[in-house]
Amino acid sequence: MSYLTYGYGFSCAALYNAFIAYGVSFVKNASSKNVSFILISGSAGAMFSPAISSILERIFSLQTVMYGIPFIYVIILSLLLISSKIKTYNKAETI
């Protein structure tokens, strides 16, 4: 079980910068205000995630929550791929 916990922590840390870079890529001229907003939002998410995970752990078991994490990542990846396809479709439509 501890390896799942370490894997979850590593994947959160590794994906944080990728999500920030992906979010900033939608802005043509990303100002420092835009980047600061994204960083603040990410920090708030990092602050609230332990509370949310402890609530989920109380409702479900720890093992169930840990097994559900890969499914959540699949959903997030699917949403990112869909938004990327929509972005390229909209870009092709404006040309």
Domain ranges of the chain: 2-94
How far lies 36's CA from each of 32, 48, 70, 80, in Å? 6, 18, 29, 21
> Does the model's pTM come out above 0.75?
no
Q: What band does 87 get if pLDDT is binned at 50, 70 and 90? A: confident
Residue 6 pLDDT class (50, 70, 90 cuts):
confident
pLDDT at 78: 96
Give the C-alpha separation, 55 to 50, whole Å. Answer: 9
Top pLDDT among 62 and 28 is at 62
Angle between helices 62-94 and 2-24 (to 10 degrees): 20
Confidence class for position 58, pLDDT limits 50, 70, 90? very high
The pLDDT value given to residue 32: 82
Q: How many CA atoms lie within 13 A of 58 on its CB side?
A: 6
CB atoms within 10 A of CB 65: 19
- Checking if the pLDDT of 42 tops 90, the result is no
